[in-house]
Structure 1
Amino acid sequence: MIVTRRIESGRRKSSKTPQGAGMQGVGRWAACAAMFGMSVFAIAAQAATQDSSGASLQNPGYSRKDIVEFMAKAKSAEQIKDPLQRCLAYPDPPGSHWTPAAVRAYCHYRFQPLMSVSEIEGLIRSRQFAKLDGRMKAALKAQQTDPSAPSRLNLIYDHAFTADATELRPLLDDWKSADPQSAFAYAASAWLYMDMARRARGEKYENDTPQASLDKMRDLLAYVETDAYRSISLDPNVMPAYVALIYGANISENTEYATHFIDDALAQSPADFTVYNTATLVLQPRWHGSIKAMQDLVDRAHANEKKNPMLAVLKNYAAFYEVDQCGCGAQQQTVRYSKLFDEVTTSGNLWNAGDAAADAGADPLAMVLLSETLRFNPSATRARSQRSMRLTSLGDAAWAVQQADIVIKQDPTESAGFSARAFALESMHDYPSAEIALKKAIQLDPKESWQLIELGNIHFVKHEWSDAWDISNEAIAKFPDLPDAWILRGNIQMDQPRAGLKDTFDEFNKRFGNDPEWKERLDEMREGLQVEQQRHATSVAAPSEQNRG
């Protein structure tokens, strides 16, 4: 299996729980607290769990004052329309010691102006090759000398030449043919061939990939090498040629070649962020690298931070990878992640850690990390919807609704925005609007459990017993191994009341009784059974008392 190519880790792994899973576990009780005007910090203090070392899973020492101040500063910064100025004005996590020069460089990296794909294609179509080369040379010079233009040429190549080859391939061939002394033309051609090889290879393991696809990949990678070497011979400073070779070696799962190309690239440009960032991905153990190789590379980057402050972003990269791959669950991941944020890191690492904190019910920490994710990657709609959930839990439902509406506007086909909107509206007791949002979320993603069960919870709160009961039956039929479906049924049976609680208790105990996380729910059902038995005994005894007269 191969890795998806990327310049900067702006993507995250799939969350183990649905976007908006704040209604489960600690998050569920925090949400209820928000609905009734209680402080999530009091709930968190009672609900905080520990890992085997005794470390808190809630947050790395954040006080209520820390979170309130951070939220106020973040909200203020997010009013700034210009994305670069917004990033620069954004608060760092409470108590952190992020290197200001690294933060400034990373903000510029994420939001600097770049030559667009349409501009490049237009210059090729109009055969203005000298002008195109001049623009590329200016980008290279800026990348080498201008602190406000980190990795500018590398980013242009990533954005412009990672594309469908149908129209772009003949354009680049024309550029090479018309300007055979252009290192930029050959580097662009190599980059596109690399992306074509990636697409031909696919994402499956080699044993599951058709031989014809592998053969096509190898043919395309040969073109990558030919054009990249030609580019380097013309101008060894054009770093995208090296990056194309590194990715190409990774696509063919040749770690030895990848390491060779990494060394060549860093010999030419010892402080190039794109090369280091690409290499940290290629050298991961899952791609036949090792933690030691990753750490050696990070140490090498650290030695060059004076030349390029943005390299500080990679300081804990190997440690982040180990936590990401630990297989230890969201709670222990959150403890381990929380120790790694004394220095700024990539938006992808922030997103992964924010997701884990959300899954662990650590809402204050999740809110901070997801906010920092959006600082550097405001187009991350699912991170924004997750952050909206945390804002609701922390008591700012109005801001949460506004954030959910941004998600819905950005991607109206994504259920997460509607779920986040519903969660916030529910906390404001606007149940009719919350129901509308939940039904839309269910329509968009009928395989997701949270929206359906939360709709049942609203009917439960409103004592609309028949509707709540119907949804509990539907939820159990669709998601029989989900505790919340059975909890909804049990709650209805206890509060309406409705017959059958003993059967629900027995089934819940059989399915989840060995999991200590659900002991409290079992105890509640057990108490409900005792109340039911007392009620039944009273109803039986009452006639006999009357008959004594």
Structure 2
Amino acid sequence: MTTFTKRKKIKFLWIVSGEALTFLLVVAASGLAHVTTRRPLPPFTANKGELLQKLRDRNFQDLDGQLNSYQVAFEKDAFTEGNLAVAFEAFCSPDPALGPLLDEWVAKNPNSYPAHLARAEYLVTAAYQARGDQYADETSAGQFAEMNALLNKAVKDALAAIKLNAKSGVAYAAVIDAARGSSDDDMRERTLAAGLKNAPLSMAIWVSSIRALQPRWGGSYGAMERLAAEAQKYAAQNPKLVTLKGFPDVERGRVALSDNDPEGAMRFYDQALQEGGDLFNSGYTSRGLLFLRLGRYDDALRDLDRANHLRPQEPQVLESLAYIYAHFKRPKDTLAMIQEYRTFAEPGPDLVNLELWAQNFDPTSVSGSRKGRD
């Protein structure tokens, strides 16, 4: 995939009011929830497909109740934020049919923080889609204008969500993601400061911030490393924050791959997992995808299975697992991955063809082939 390295500065076309910024910075911080460092990963109960179906059914009351329950759980125990993050990722969808439904949800429940935040997530996704993934000099002024218009709307919704619930780490992260897209460093820094006052244990805030500091977005590896080090003062209360130490080397690995240096990328990914630890789903995903590219299917299956356990329903992970299971002639597992993918996203032509292969698999065609681990 083409990166955004050497992008020109594009200022926001929207203006966030001084009152909103002041609000972000003065909301009082609360006590930190206690989380021990040695404990099993909390179970995931959020399901993107089920949440999207509730939206399509206009079951706004249930959506509010479920999403609020994940927020309450996070405020009690930051280690459970995975459910909250996965739940709101359901609305990071390119499906244009969701827009009117989200508008209706907000109109009927204007004091619903989940409604505003869900629409913000949808709009940020739409904004990046409008911009495309080319370099700045290969992107039209019209694309930038459309991106900024959508980001303007997204930030207004995210700020509305913060006003309704100042401890919403995902809402601060949405503003940071928007600021990254429009190179608004001042907004990004102000939002990070406000987020860390009110939800310092939120992995969502830290991850959006460290990604905004990647060199391709105008940052540096040093800046990423400093932010990761800063987060460690909270790691005893949220062990997931340790994984931030691996993000700089994952980015170095991505750059090495773009330079056609898979061996160098593997070294960076190994180092990232050593630094970020066993909870580092992004590290397992990156290394697992490289193993798959190199044809090391058993290793790819091990890493991507771990990534799927740490953060379920990631489209790229599910798709890759489907191909790995197909390689091992395991059609039922291939179908299971594709069916889960279909609950919240539309598969592309290649995945549809793989699905047809699995549905019509002839077991007599398997002769002494490896099956992969169970």
Same fold (TM over 0.5): yes
What residue number does 2:46 align with?
Answer: 113
- Mapped to 2, the partners of 1:164 and 1:385 lie a distance apart of 23
Whether the 8 Å contact between 2:46 and 2:86 is mirrored in structure 1 is no
- Mapped to 1, the partners of 2:152 and 2:196 lie a distance apart of 22
Counterpart secondary structure, 1:294: helix
Distance 1:384 1:280, change over 3 A: farther
Q: CA deviation at 1:133?
A: 3.4
Match of 1:413 among 339, 342, 353: 353
Mark the structure with the bigger radius of gyration. Answer: 1
Distance 1:167 1:314, change over 3 A: same
Q: Residue 134 in 1 paired to residue 70 in 2?
A: no
Whether the 8 Å contact between 1:228 and 1:241 is mirrored in structure 2 is yes
1:181-196 matches, cutoff 5 A? 181-196=111-126
Q: CA deviation at 1:385?
A: 4.3
Match of 1:346 among 246, 256, 280: 280
- Mapped to 1, the partners of 2:37 and 2:304 lie a distance apart of 18
Unaligned runs of 5+ in 1: 4-99, 390-399, 431-549
Residue 186 of structure 1 aligns to which amino acid in structure 2? H
Unaligned runs of 5+ in 2: 5-35, 310-316, 339-350
Q: CA deviation at 1:221?
A: 1.8
- Mapped to 2, the partners of 1:315 and 1:380 lie a distance apart of 25
What residue number does 2:348 align with?
Answer: none
1:128-277 matches, cutoff 5 A? 129=61, 132-146=63-77, 149-159=80-90, 161-164=91-94, 166-277=96-207
Q: Residue 428 in 1 paired to residue 368 in 2?
A: yes
Between the aligned residues of both structures, percent identity stands at 21
Residue 213 of structure 2 aligns to which amino acid in structure 1? L
What residue number does 2:262 align with?
Answer: 330
Kindly provide the CA deviation profile for residues 313-352 of structure 1, in whole angstroms up to 9, marking residues without a partner as x: 3332212222332347223433443344342153342233
Distance 1:235 1:429, change over 3 A: closer
Counterpart secondary structure, 2:234: coil
What residue number does 1:382 align with?
Answer: 320
What residue number does 2:313 align with?
Answer: none
Q: CA deviation at 1:113?
A: 3.1
Residue 246 of structure 1 aligns to which amino acid in structure 2? I
1:493-508 matches, cutoff 5 A? none
Q: CA deviation at 1:167?
A: 3.0
Residue 413 of structure 1 aligns to which amino acid in structure 2? N
Q: CA deviation at 1:281?
A: 1.9
Distance 1:231 1:383, change over 3 A: closer
RMSD: 3.6
- Mapped to 1, the partners of 2:204 and 2:234 lie a distance apart of 13
Distance 1:186 1:387, change over 3 A: closer
Distance 1:230 1:354, change over 3 A: closer
Kindly provide the CA deviation profile for residues 278-305 of structure 1, in whole angstroms up to 9, marking residues without a partner as x: 2222211111111011111211222211
- Mapped to 1, the partners of 2:292 and 2:159 lie a distance apart of 46
Distance 1:376 1:353, change over 3 A: closer
Counterpart secondary structure, 1:150: helix
Distance 1:369 1:226, change over 3 A: same
Q: CA deviation at 1:104?
A: 2.9
Q: CA deviation at 1:194?
A: 1.8
Whether the 8 Å contact between 2:67 and 2:84 is mirrored in structure 1 is yes
Residue 271 of structure 1 aligns to which amino acid in structure 2? L
